[in-house]
Amino acid sequence: MNDAESPRGAEYGAEYGAEYEAERDAVRRDQADPLPTLRDAFHVPPAPGGPHAEAAYFAGNSLGLQPKSTARLVNEELEDWARLAVEGHTRGRRPWVDYHERARGPAARLVGARPHEVVAMNSLTVDLHLMMATFYRPAGERTRIVIEDTAFPSDSYAVQSQAVHHGLDPERTVVRLRPRDGEEHLRTEDVLAYLERDGRHVALLLLGGVNYLTGQLMDMAAITKAGRAAGAVVGWDLAHAAGNVPLRLHDWDVDFAAWCTYKYLNSGPGAVAGCFVHERHVRDAGLPKLAGWWGTDPATRFRMAPEFTPPASADAWQLSNPPILALAPVLASLEIFDRVGMDALRAKSERLTAYLAGRLARIPGLRVITPADPAARGCQLSIRVPDAGGLVERLAASAGVMADAREPDVVRLAPVPLYSTFHDCHRAAAALASALGGRSGR
């Protein structure tokens, strides 16, 4: 009796056939999707291992892929620098003196803001500190800063240092909201209950729009409304939300927000960040702020006067002239988002993420800790497994699937709708099933 005729051979043949059909189904989904992939607009790295030439890239929540248009924009600025030197400030193809303003409209559309409410500047944590210099004003019994317990470490460090800066004890000042025992996510009703109960003590509520570890999308509208009703300033860290989910910062009445642009916004490692300040604040020239030359009114900036005269825009929080070579990739990325639109990307994201979640749910022993409700998550799916780092290495080496790990036991997979495909999701599910010793989720 040969292998094909044996019971084990028949089982193998059925499994192989099912796997083949699962792959064909993924390909058909890609062909039929109403928003075709923009994968060809990006540089996709080669697969570290496995039979495929290109990686199935699921680490865009850590560092997005490079748009192919980026090099052209950066090279044009280098050429203008070489050709014009200092005159590039006024005579370049995109004059440097107002270069950051080119990001204003696209960034505002991306986050649901009015153009004068946004500015591209600095890096995320720097922007959060600049915002807190203005908006964290502890007084009397209202001194607390509220964050989530699983906030990204940089946010924890930032708020603790702000407490110390004001002469306060961070152990008593910083409140870390935790999920209920046995749960992975912070319930909206628990955040609202805390604000109703203890809101009189809260000076600043600063949560992540999408949690970096679990991928949970917070109900930003409801939490902002409750925070402001309690008398607190409400800010949002949108590092994992900007470019991932639709935002309506102005309509939600958010006080301030900041985001990086190197994750879903594909602007390169350490790229220039973005910042939002609601228009009721940008119109208040009396607000205290840390000031710098580029934050003064551009109409009078070059008079070199010692008096600081802020414009009625988020530009008032700028410190230094913008880094042109670092802003060019931001413009390249924002052009893509402007062309495609967040609503279309969100719809595709929900299709991709639901497909991957369905495949993962069929793998024995694998536990997804991201909310199952599509309205409560972005595109990231986090799974809790032993030896997360080792699993990520095996996925790359065996199948060319690139994900990332957060030690000790979380692997994050982000099917980014700009360049991820259903076939990528199929590859990820099959590779995880193989690595975990189970059958592929079909």
Report whether 255 belongs to an annotated binding site.
no
Q: Is omega for the bond preceding 408 within 30 degrees of 0, making it cis?
A: yes
Report whether 382 belongs to an annotated binding site.
no
Rounded to an integer, what distance in angstroms lies between the CA atom of residue 424 and that of residue 291?
47
Helices 342-360, 7-32: axis angle to 10 degrees equals 170
CB atoms near residue 123 (< 10 Å): 17
Structure-token pair, residue 361: 């749910």
Beta strands in 102-242 (DSSP E): 118-120, 144-148, 174-177, 202-208, 233-237
Rounded to an integer, what distance in angstroms lies between the CA atom of residue 286 and that of residue 129?
19
Rounded to an integer, what distance in angstroms lies between the CA atom of residue 419 and that of residue 43?
10
Report whether 302 belongs to an annotated binding site.
no
C-alpha dihedral, 248 to 375 to 341 to 243, nearest 10°: 80
Report whether 154 belongs to an annotated binding site.
yes
Report whether 217 belongs to an annotated binding site.
no
Report whether 321 belongs to an annotated binding site.
yes
SS (H, E, C) 151-168: CCHHHHHHHHHHHHHCCC
Report whether 294 belongs to an annotated binding site.
no
**Cα Rg, the chain, nearest whole Å:** 24
Of 205, 198, 199, residue with least CA distance to 174: 205
Burial class (CB in 10 A: 0-12, 13-18, 19+), 352: buried
Q: What are the distances in angstroms from CA 288 to CA 132, 136, 177, 261, 296? A: 10, 10, 29, 27, 14
Report whether 152 belongs to an annotated binding site.
yes
Report whether 240 belongs to an annotated binding site.
yes
Report whether 419 belongs to an annotated binding site.
no
Under 8 Å between Cβ of 239 and 124: yes
Report whether 288 belongs to an annotated binding site.
no
Feature table: binding site for pyridoxal 5'-phosphate:
124-125, 152-155, 237, 240, 262, 293, 321
Feature table: binding site:
124-125, 152-155, 237, 240, 262, 293, 321
